[in-house]
A and B are shown apart, each in its own frame.
Chain A
Amino acid sequence: MTIEHEAHYPLEVEARWKAYEWELIPAVPEVPPMNLALDEVLTKTVGRGERKPTLRFWAWSAPCVVLGRFQSVRNEVQIESAREHGVQIVRRISGGGAMFIEPPLAITYSIHVPPSFVEGLSFPQSYAFLDSWVIEALRELGIDAWYAPLNDLTSAGGKIGGAAQARRFGGVLHHTTMAYDMDMPAMLRTLRIGQEKLSDKGLRSADKRVGPLRQQTNLPRETIIERMTETFTRRTGATVGAVTPAERAEAEQLVVEKFATEAWSYLIP
């Protein structure tokens, strides 16, 4: 069975969006390690049953490279160039590939759910399921978007974004970054993009080229986020909330102990 087929999930699971009470946390700019620490803390509090299933929109206060859990810094980043341009190198708790983030050019969100929300689904199914509301929102914006398993959001106009999941701390973390716009020169001087990585992409070059949302919609970034918020709220009945003071304190401690440390960022040098 191909991974494309594996990603189809039974339609009845759609009812789960409405079966849970949701909280939506609007974007507040955070330094890169804080965004990653909040990822871990919200997954923990959902996992402990202290917090409802949650959608958090992110905002970044500084440029950064976010490495996947298993990536090597040297293999992925032009370290000197990143340092010269004030691009911080951070590592997330989920697998997948490096992202180069310039704050106004990315749209990032994370979904934190208990394992029951994706129970019975394979990993490829759960990726497609957890981003299905975004596909709906993009279609409402006039983009003929679809999910390209395992973890890409794409359209005829090009790849829009990528997702990653971690299953830890009693919860499920699913986060996605979409390109609102691209700064190609900055990306090329920051990341390393090797030949082997591109080796199987000959046939797929058309659907793998990036098609940022600005180019595909001509809409302001805020309008896209508003549409996503509306679509998600319609689907789930989510109410607006915020990171609690206790969660923020726990995240601040994690920044110091983990996400801002070289030991974690350079876990695989």
Chain B
Amino acid sequence: MHGEYKTPGGKLVVADFDVRDEQFRDVVVSGDFFLYPEEALEAIVGAVEGLAVTSGESAIARAVEAALPDGTEMLGFSPEAVAIALRRGLA
């Protein structure tokens, strides 16, 4: 599955994943965004890996937000943008 979302005035987020047992699996998040520290990407992916595909946008965004290490800076994208890209991949 493949979903993309570009934050207006910001950057592109791409989500590639499989669906198994009605869950997001093997999630890869990529894009031309800026993220500090870089390791926060693992936290973002880890937060959505295994989430039920029935999770709504705000539930996915909350999971991402909660997993971010303290002091993480997301420039040009947001937890919501990640959630939208994932949801679009299901469509």
Contact = CB atoms under 8 A, between A and B. Distances in A.
A261 interface: no
B47 to A, nearest CB: 16
Contact of A95 (B4, B5, B7, B33): B33
A167 B36 contact: yes
B8 to A, nearest CB: 4
A71 interface: yes
A95 B8 contact: no
Given A72-B16, A150-B75, A123 B36 contact: yes
Contacts of A268: 28, 30
Given A70-B31, A196-B4, A75 B14 contact: yes
Given A123-B75, A196-B5, A71 B28 contact: no
B73 A70 contact: no
Interface string A142-174: 000000001100000000000011111000000
Contacts of B11: 96-97
A165 B5 contact: no
Given A72-B16, A123-B75, A200 B8 contact: yes
A200 B29 CA distance: 20
Contacts of B35: 70, 95
B41 interface: yes
Which of B4, B28, B30, B38 has most chain A Cβ within 10 Å?
B30
Interface in A165-191: 165-168
Nearest to A268: B30
Contact of A69 (B6, B7, B16, B38): B38
B13 to A, nearest CB: 9
Interface in B5-46: 5-9, 11-12, 14, 16, 28-38, 41
A1 to B, nearest CB: 13
| Top 4 A-B residue pairs of the complex, sorted by shortest distance between their CB atoms | A97-B32, A95-B34, A72-B30, A196-B4
Interface of A: 3, 68-72, 75, 93-98, 123-124, 150-151, 164-168, 194, 196-197, 199-200, 268
6 contacts: A70-B35, A70-B41, A71-B30, A167-B37, A199-B6, A268-B28
